[in-house]
Structure 1
Protein backbone atom coordinates (compact mmCIF):
# COMPACT_ATOMS: atom_id res chain seq x y z
CA UNK A 1 0.00 0.00 0.00
CA UNK A 2 2.83 2.35 0.83
CA UNK A 3 4.50 1.64 -2.52
CA UNK A 4 1.26 2.46 -4.32
CA UNK A 5 0.92 5.71 -2.42
CA UNK A 6 4.47 6.76 -3.29
CA UNK A 7 4.03 5.71 -6.91
CA UNK A 8 0.90 7.81 -7.22
CA UNK A 9 2.69 10.79 -5.68
CA UNK A 10 5.58 10.38 -8.14
CA UNK A 11 3.17 10.21 -11.07
CA UNK A 12 1.33 13.28 -9.82
CA UNK A 13 4.63 15.16 -9.55
CA UNK A 14 5.26 14.56 -13.26
CA UNK A 15 1.81 15.69 -14.43
CA UNK A 16 2.85 19.33 -14.97
CA UNK A 17 5.48 18.09 -17.43
CA UNK A 18 2.72 16.44 -19.44
CA UNK A 19 0.63 19.59 -19.37
CA UNK A 20 2.91 21.52 -21.70
CA UNK A 21 -0.08 22.40 -23.76
CA UNK A 22 1.39 24.63 -26.40
CA UNK A 23 4.69 23.46 -27.85
CA UNK A 24 5.44 24.38 -31.42
CA UNK A 25 4.61 28.07 -31.29
CA UNK A 26 7.71 28.89 -33.28
CA UNK A 27 5.79 28.32 -36.52
CA UNK A 28 2.87 30.73 -36.56
CA UNK A 29 1.78 30.75 -40.16
CA UNK A 30 -0.23 28.67 -42.52
CA UNK A 31 -2.75 25.90 -42.57
CA UNK A 32 -0.33 23.10 -41.64
CA UNK A 33 0.98 24.92 -38.57
CA UNK A 34 -2.60 25.25 -37.35
CA UNK A 35 -3.44 21.68 -38.30
CA UNK A 36 -0.46 20.12 -36.52
CA UNK A 37 -0.73 22.21 -33.37
CA UNK A 38 -3.73 20.44 -31.75
CA UNK A 39 -1.96 17.10 -32.11
CA UNK A 40 1.04 18.40 -30.13
CA UNK A 41 -0.86 19.76 -27.13
CA UNK A 42 -2.22 17.48 -24.44
CA UNK A 43 -4.96 19.97 -23.59
CA UNK A 44 -6.24 19.92 -27.17
CA UNK A 45 -6.22 16.16 -27.38
CA UNK A 46 -7.91 15.68 -24.01
CA UNK A 47 -10.47 18.39 -24.69
CA UNK A 48 -11.50 17.19 -28.13
CA UNK A 49 -11.43 13.46 -27.35
CA UNK A 50 -13.28 13.86 -24.04
CA UNK A 51 -15.75 16.21 -25.66
CA UNK A 52 -16.40 13.66 -28.41
CA UNK A 53 -16.89 10.87 -25.86
CA UNK A 54 -19.24 13.09 -23.87
CA UNK A 55 -21.22 13.98 -26.97
CA UNK A 56 -21.58 10.31 -27.88
CA UNK A 57 -23.14 9.61 -24.49
CA UNK A 58 -25.47 12.59 -24.91
CA UNK A 59 -28.75 12.96 -26.71
CA UNK A 60 -28.66 12.67 -30.50
CA UNK A 61 -29.41 16.37 -31.01
CA UNK A 62 -26.29 17.43 -29.09
CA UNK A 63 -23.89 15.51 -31.36
CA UNK A 64 -24.29 17.84 -34.33
CA UNK A 65 -24.53 20.90 -32.07
CA UNK A 66 -21.27 19.88 -30.45
CA UNK A 67 -19.45 19.70 -33.75
CA UNK A 68 -20.82 22.99 -35.06
CA UNK A 69 -20.52 24.71 -31.69
CA UNK A 70 -16.92 23.60 -31.30
CA UNK A 71 -15.91 25.08 -34.66
CA UNK A 72 -17.88 28.34 -34.43
CA UNK A 73 -16.91 29.10 -30.83
CA UNK A 74 -13.25 28.44 -31.57
CA UNK A 75 -13.27 30.80 -34.57
CA UNK A 76 -15.04 33.54 -32.59
CA UNK A 77 -12.65 33.06 -29.68
CA UNK A 78 -9.67 33.25 -32.03
CA UNK A 79 -10.93 36.54 -33.45
CA UNK A 80 -11.47 37.98 -29.97
CA UNK A 81 -8.03 36.83 -28.82
CA UNK A 82 -6.22 38.14 -31.89
CA UNK A 83 -7.70 41.59 -31.27
CA UNK A 84 -6.38 41.57 -27.71
CA UNK A 85 -9.75 41.97 -26.00
CA UNK A 86 -8.98 39.15 -23.58
CA UNK A 87 -5.38 38.46 -22.48
CA UNK A 88 -3.96 34.97 -23.03
CA UNK A 89 -3.47 34.51 -19.27
CA UNK A 90 -7.20 34.99 -18.64
CA UNK A 91 -7.99 32.56 -21.45
CA UNK A 92 -5.73 29.92 -19.86
CA UNK A 93 -7.79 30.12 -16.65
CA UNK A 94 -10.90 29.79 -18.78
CA UNK A 95 -9.46 26.66 -20.39
CA UNK A 96 -8.76 25.17 -16.96
CA UNK A 97 -12.27 25.99 -15.73
CA UNK A 98 -13.87 24.59 -18.85
CA UNK A 99 -11.82 21.37 -18.66
CA UNK A 100 -13.06 20.92 -15.09
CA UNK A 101 -16.60 21.62 -16.30
CA UNK A 102 -16.13 19.02 -19.03
CA UNK A 103 -14.89 16.52 -16.44
CA UNK A 104 -17.98 17.19 -14.30
CA UNK A 105 -20.22 16.73 -17.34
CA UNK A 106 -18.50 13.43 -18.15
CA UNK A 107 -18.70 12.27 -14.55
CA UNK A 108 -22.38 13.11 -14.12
CA UNK A 109 -23.35 12.45 -17.76
CA UNK A 110 -25.21 15.76 -17.68
CA UNK A 111 -26.89 16.94 -20.86
CA UNK A 112 -27.64 20.34 -19.32
CA UNK A 113 -23.96 21.26 -19.11
CA UNK A 114 -23.18 20.35 -22.73
CA UNK A 115 -24.02 23.62 -24.50
CA UNK A 116 -22.17 25.66 -21.90
CA UNK A 117 -19.19 23.33 -22.00
CA UNK A 118 -19.03 23.39 -25.80
CA UNK A 119 -19.03 27.15 -26.07
CA UNK A 120 -16.71 27.86 -23.14
CA UNK A 121 -14.13 25.24 -23.94
CA UNK A 122 -13.76 26.01 -27.62
CA UNK A 123 -13.99 29.77 -27.22
CA UNK A 124 -11.32 29.93 -24.52
CA UNK A 125 -9.04 27.74 -26.63
CA UNK A 126 -9.68 30.09 -29.53
CA UNK A 127 -8.97 33.18 -27.40
CA UNK A 128 -5.72 31.71 -26.11
CA UNK A 129 -4.52 30.88 -29.59
CA UNK A 130 -5.73 34.15 -31.02
CA UNK A 131 -3.73 36.02 -28.39
CA UNK A 132 -0.64 33.85 -28.85
CA UNK A 133 -0.67 33.24 -32.58
CA UNK A 134 -3.09 35.67 -34.14
CA UNK A 135 -0.69 38.60 -34.30
CA UNK A 136 1.39 36.84 -36.93
CA UNK A 137 0.56 36.56 -40.59
CA UNK A 138 -1.84 34.14 -42.22
CA UNK A 139 -4.08 33.87 -39.17
CA UNK A 140 -7.05 32.78 -41.27
CA UNK A 141 -5.19 29.74 -42.61
CA UNK A 142 -3.87 29.01 -39.14
CA UNK A 143 -7.33 28.94 -37.57
CA UNK A 144 -8.72 26.95 -40.49
CA UNK A 145 -6.05 24.31 -39.92
CA UNK A 146 -6.66 24.29 -36.18
CA UNK A 147 -10.44 23.99 -36.50
CA UNK A 148 -10.05 21.21 -39.07
CA UNK A 149 -7.73 19.25 -36.79
CA UNK A 150 -9.91 19.81 -33.72
CA UNK A 151 -12.95 18.60 -35.66
CA UNK A 152 -11.09 15.44 -36.67
CA UNK A 153 -9.95 14.81 -33.09
CA UNK A 154 -13.50 15.44 -31.88
CA UNK A 155 -14.80 12.92 -34.42
CA UNK A 156 -12.22 10.47 -33.06
CA UNK A 157 -13.68 11.07 -29.60
CA UNK A 158 -17.13 10.30 -30.97
CA UNK A 159 -15.72 7.04 -32.34
CA UNK A 160 -14.12 6.19 -29.00
CA UNK A 161 -17.43 6.91 -27.26
CA UNK A 162 -19.27 4.65 -29.69
CA UNK A 163 -16.71 1.89 -29.22
CA UNK A 164 -16.85 2.13 -25.42
CA UNK A 165 -20.64 2.11 -25.38
CA UNK A 166 -20.95 -0.86 -27.73
CA UNK A 167 -18.01 -3.13 -26.96
CA UNK A 168 -16.52 -2.33 -23.56
CA UNK A 169 -18.03 -3.86 -20.44
CA UNK A 170 -18.25 -1.32 -17.63
CA UNK A 171 -17.96 1.47 -20.20
CA UNK A 172 -19.64 3.96 -17.89
CA UNK A 173 -16.90 3.43 -15.31
CA UNK A 174 -14.28 3.98 -18.00
CA UNK A 175 -15.96 7.24 -18.98
CA UNK A 176 -15.93 8.25 -15.30
CA UNK A 177 -12.21 7.47 -15.18
CA UNK A 178 -11.71 9.54 -18.32
CA UNK A 179 -13.48 12.39 -16.53
CA UNK A 180 -11.05 12.16 -13.63
CA UNK A 181 -8.06 12.15 -16.00
CA UNK A 182 -9.39 15.22 -17.83
CA UNK A 183 -9.85 17.04 -14.52
CA UNK A 184 -6.34 16.18 -13.32
CA UNK A 185 -4.73 17.26 -16.59
CA UNK A 186 -6.83 20.41 -16.60
CA UNK A 187 -5.66 21.32 -13.11
CA UNK A 188 -2.01 20.35 -13.70
Structure 2
Protein backbone atom coordinates (compact mmCIF):
# COMPACT_ATOMS: atom_id res chain seq x y z
CA UNK A 1 0.00 0.00 0.00
CA UNK A 2 2.95 2.31 0.69
CA UNK A 3 3.97 2.18 -2.99
CA UNK A 4 0.51 3.35 -4.10
CA UNK A 5 0.80 6.68 -2.27
CA UNK A 6 3.27 8.28 -4.72
CA UNK A 7 1.21 7.00 -7.65
CA UNK A 8 -1.98 8.44 -6.21
CA UNK A 9 -0.26 11.73 -5.38
CA UNK A 10 1.08 11.98 -8.93
CA UNK A 11 -2.31 11.18 -10.44
CA UNK A 12 -4.00 13.80 -8.28
CA UNK A 13 -1.34 16.36 -9.19
CA UNK A 14 -1.96 15.67 -12.87
CA UNK A 15 -5.67 16.21 -12.30
CA UNK A 16 -4.87 19.81 -11.35
CA UNK A 17 -3.22 20.57 -14.72
CA UNK A 18 -5.44 22.71 -16.95
CA UNK A 19 -6.95 21.03 -19.99
CA UNK A 20 -5.06 22.48 -22.92
CA UNK A 21 -6.19 20.20 -25.74
CA UNK A 22 -9.13 22.35 -26.79
CA UNK A 23 -9.93 25.02 -29.34
CA UNK A 24 -8.37 28.41 -28.66
CA UNK A 25 -6.62 27.14 -25.51
CA UNK A 26 -3.12 27.37 -26.97
CA UNK A 27 -1.50 28.30 -30.24
CA UNK A 28 0.01 25.33 -32.07
CA UNK A 29 2.36 24.80 -34.95
CA UNK A 30 1.11 22.96 -37.97
CA UNK A 31 3.80 20.37 -38.61
CA UNK A 32 4.04 16.69 -37.78
CA UNK A 33 6.10 17.31 -34.61
CA UNK A 34 3.57 19.82 -33.26
CA UNK A 35 0.77 17.38 -33.97
CA UNK A 36 2.68 14.50 -32.39
CA UNK A 37 3.32 16.45 -29.18
CA UNK A 38 -0.21 17.83 -28.96
CA UNK A 39 -1.86 14.76 -27.36
CA UNK A 40 0.61 15.03 -24.48
CA UNK A 41 -0.30 18.66 -23.69
CA UNK A 42 -3.85 18.18 -22.46
CA UNK A 43 -4.81 16.14 -19.42
CA UNK A 44 -8.10 15.15 -21.02
CA UNK A 45 -6.42 13.74 -24.12
CA UNK A 46 -3.70 11.90 -22.19
CA UNK A 47 -6.24 10.30 -19.85
CA UNK A 48 -8.69 9.46 -22.64
CA UNK A 49 -6.06 7.78 -24.82
CA UNK A 50 -4.57 5.81 -21.91
CA UNK A 51 -8.07 4.81 -20.77
CA UNK A 52 -9.04 3.60 -24.23
CA UNK A 53 -5.96 1.39 -24.25
CA UNK A 54 -6.44 0.08 -20.71
CA UNK A 55 -10.15 -0.65 -21.19
CA UNK A 56 -9.84 -2.16 -24.67
CA UNK A 57 -7.47 -4.91 -23.55
CA UNK A 58 -10.26 -6.81 -21.80
CA UNK A 59 -12.96 -6.32 -24.43
CA UNK A 60 -14.25 -8.53 -27.21
CA UNK A 61 -12.27 -7.71 -30.37
CA UNK A 62 -9.63 -6.06 -28.19
CA UNK A 63 -7.18 -5.64 -31.06
CA UNK A 64 -9.70 -3.96 -33.35
CA UNK A 65 -11.00 -1.38 -30.85
CA UNK A 66 -7.89 0.85 -30.73
CA UNK A 67 -7.63 0.86 -34.53
CA UNK A 68 -11.31 1.72 -34.87
CA UNK A 69 -10.88 4.43 -32.23
CA UNK A 70 -7.95 5.99 -34.11
CA UNK A 71 -9.85 5.83 -37.42
CA UNK A 72 -12.79 7.65 -35.85
CA UNK A 73 -10.39 10.12 -34.22
CA UNK A 74 -9.24 10.97 -37.75
CA UNK A 75 -12.87 11.37 -38.87
CA UNK A 76 -13.37 13.70 -35.92
CA UNK A 77 -10.33 15.74 -36.98
CA UNK A 78 -11.81 16.04 -40.47
CA UNK A 79 -15.10 17.31 -39.02
CA UNK A 80 -13.19 19.93 -37.03
CA UNK A 81 -11.15 21.02 -40.02
CA UNK A 82 -14.42 21.29 -42.00
CA UNK A 83 -15.73 23.66 -39.33
CA UNK A 84 -18.37 21.44 -37.73
CA UNK A 85 -19.16 22.87 -34.30
CA UNK A 86 -20.32 20.27 -31.77
CA UNK A 87 -22.39 21.82 -28.96
CA UNK A 88 -20.95 21.37 -25.46
CA UNK A 89 -17.81 19.83 -26.97
CA UNK A 90 -15.64 20.48 -23.90
CA UNK A 91 -18.17 18.90 -21.57
CA UNK A 92 -18.58 15.89 -23.88
CA UNK A 93 -14.83 15.36 -23.99
CA UNK A 94 -14.55 15.58 -20.21
CA UNK A 95 -17.47 13.20 -19.72
CA UNK A 96 -15.86 10.72 -22.12
CA UNK A 97 -12.85 10.66 -19.78
CA UNK A 98 -15.11 10.13 -16.77
CA UNK A 99 -17.04 7.32 -18.47
CA UNK A 100 -13.85 5.55 -19.51
CA UNK A 101 -12.57 5.80 -15.93
CA UNK A 102 -15.79 4.28 -14.56
CA UNK A 103 -15.65 1.46 -17.12
CA UNK A 104 -12.09 0.65 -16.04
CA UNK A 105 -13.01 0.91 -12.34
CA UNK A 106 -15.89 -1.55 -12.63
CA UNK A 107 -14.02 -3.74 -15.15
CA UNK A 108 -17.00 -3.47 -17.52
CA UNK A 109 -17.09 -5.76 -20.52
CA UNK A 110 -19.44 -4.47 -23.19
CA UNK A 111 -20.72 -6.20 -26.32
CA UNK A 112 -18.34 -5.44 -29.18
CA UNK A 113 -20.83 -3.29 -31.08
CA UNK A 114 -21.71 -1.19 -28.01
CA UNK A 115 -18.05 -0.70 -27.09
CA UNK A 116 -17.12 0.25 -30.66
CA UNK A 117 -20.01 2.72 -30.94
CA UNK A 118 -19.14 4.33 -27.62
CA UNK A 119 -15.47 4.68 -28.58
CA UNK A 120 -16.48 6.09 -31.98
CA UNK A 121 -18.48 8.87 -30.34
CA UNK A 122 -15.65 9.65 -27.91
CA UNK A 123 -13.09 9.66 -30.73
CA UNK A 124 -15.15 12.03 -32.85
CA UNK A 125 -15.46 14.45 -29.93
CA UNK A 126 -11.72 14.44 -29.26
CA UNK A 127 -10.84 14.57 -32.95
CA UNK A 128 -13.25 17.44 -33.65
CA UNK A 129 -11.63 19.60 -30.97
CA UNK A 130 -8.19 18.92 -32.42
CA UNK A 131 -9.36 19.51 -35.99
CA UNK A 132 -10.40 23.04 -35.06
CA UNK A 133 -6.95 23.86 -33.74
CA UNK A 134 -4.66 21.81 -35.99
CA UNK A 135 -6.01 21.98 -39.54
CA UNK A 136 -2.82 21.00 -41.41
CA UNK A 137 -2.48 17.44 -42.74
CA UNK A 138 0.99 17.02 -41.23
CA UNK A 139 -0.20 18.04 -37.77
CA UNK A 140 -3.20 15.69 -38.05
CA UNK A 141 -0.89 12.79 -38.90
CA UNK A 142 1.31 13.71 -35.94
CA UNK A 143 -1.75 13.86 -33.71
CA UNK A 144 -2.76 10.36 -34.77
CA UNK A 145 0.76 9.04 -34.19
CA UNK A 146 0.97 10.58 -30.71
CA UNK A 147 -2.51 9.35 -29.86
CA UNK A 148 -1.64 5.84 -31.07
CA UNK A 149 1.41 5.84 -28.82
CA UNK A 150 -0.72 6.80 -25.80
CA UNK A 151 -3.36 4.16 -26.63
CA UNK A 152 -0.65 1.50 -26.91
CA UNK A 153 0.86 2.64 -23.61
CA UNK A 154 -2.59 2.19 -22.08
CA UNK A 155 -2.88 -1.29 -23.61
CA UNK A 156 0.47 -2.21 -22.08
CA UNK A 157 -0.65 -0.91 -18.69
CA UNK A 158 -3.90 -2.84 -19.05
CA UNK A 159 -2.03 -6.07 -19.74
CA UNK A 160 0.65 -5.88 -17.04
CA UNK A 161 -0.98 -4.01 -14.15
CA UNK A 162 -2.64 -5.82 -11.27
CA UNK A 163 -6.43 -5.55 -11.09
CA UNK A 164 -6.32 -3.37 -7.96
CA UNK A 165 -3.99 -0.87 -9.63
CA UNK A 166 -6.26 -0.74 -12.69
CA UNK A 167 -9.25 -0.16 -10.42
CA UNK A 168 -7.38 2.73 -8.75
CA UNK A 169 -6.39 4.13 -12.15
CA UNK A 170 -10.02 3.95 -13.27
CA UNK A 171 -11.14 5.84 -10.17
CA UNK A 172 -8.51 8.56 -10.70
CA UNK A 173 -9.39 8.88 -14.40
CA UNK A 174 -13.12 9.09 -13.58
CA UNK A 175 -12.51 11.73 -10.90
CA UNK A 176 -10.35 13.77 -13.26
CA UNK A 177 -13.05 13.52 -15.93
CA UNK A 178 -15.69 14.79 -13.51
CA UNK A 179 -13.41 17.71 -12.51
CA UNK A 180 -12.79 18.54 -16.17
CA UNK A 181 -16.53 18.40 -16.87
CA UNK A 182 -17.26 20.71 -13.94
CA UNK A 183 -14.59 23.11 -15.19
CA UNK A 184 -15.98 23.01 -18.75
CA UNK A 185 -19.50 23.61 -17.47
CA UNK A 186 -18.36 26.47 -15.24
CA UNK A 187 -16.45 28.15 -18.08
CA UNK A 188 -19.48 27.73 -20.36
CA UNK A 189 -21.68 29.52 -17.83
CA UNK A 190 -19.27 32.39 -17.20
With normalisation by structure 2, the TM-score equals: 0.76
Counterpart check, 1:56 vs 2:57:
yes
Contact 1:102 1:117 in 2 (8 A): no
Whole-Å Cα distance in 2 between the matches of residues 39 and 69 of structure 1?
A: 21
- Counterparts of 1:12-161 in structure 2, within 5 Å, are 17-22=16-21, 25-59=26-60, 61=61, 63-87=62-86, 90-112=88-110, 114-134=115-135, 139-161=136-158
Whole-Å Cα distance in 2 between the matches of residues 157 and 91 of structure 1?
A: 24
**Rg larger for:** 1
Q: Deviations over 1:79-104 (max 9, x none)?
A: 111222224x6221211221122122
| Of 36-45 and 144-153, the range deviating more from structure 2 | 36-45
| Corresponding residue number in structure 2 for 1:187 | 178
Describe the shift of the 1:160–1:15 C-alpha distance in structure 2 as closer, same or farther (beyond 3 A): closer
Contact 1:25 1:133 in 2 (8 A): no
In terms of fraction of residues, the more helix-rich structure is 1
Whole-Å Cα distance in 2 between the matches of residues 101 and 33 of structure 1?
A: 28
Whole-Å Cα distance in 2 between the matches of residues 39 and 17 of structure 1?
A: 15
Describe the shift of the 1:157–1:15 C-alpha distance in structure 2 as closer, same or farther (beyond 3 A): closer
Root mean square deviation, CA, Å: 2.5
With normalisation by structure 1, the TM-score equals: 0.77
| Of 124-133 and 23-32, the range deviating more from structure 2 | 23-32
Aligned length: 165
Contact 1:37 1:146 in 2 (8 A): yes
Contact 2:14 2:43 in 1 (8 A): no
Whole-Å Cα distance in 2 between the matches of residues 132 and 147 of structure 1?
A: 14
Describe the shift of the 1:35–1:70 C-alpha distance in structure 2 as closer, same or farther (beyond 3 A): same
Whole-Å Cα distance in 2 between the matches of residues 44 and 91 of structure 1?
A: 13
Describe the shift of the 1:35–1:78 C-alpha distance in structure 2 as closer, same or farther (beyond 3 A): same
| Corresponding residue number in structure 1 for 2:6 | none
| Corresponding residue number in structure 2 for 1:8 | none
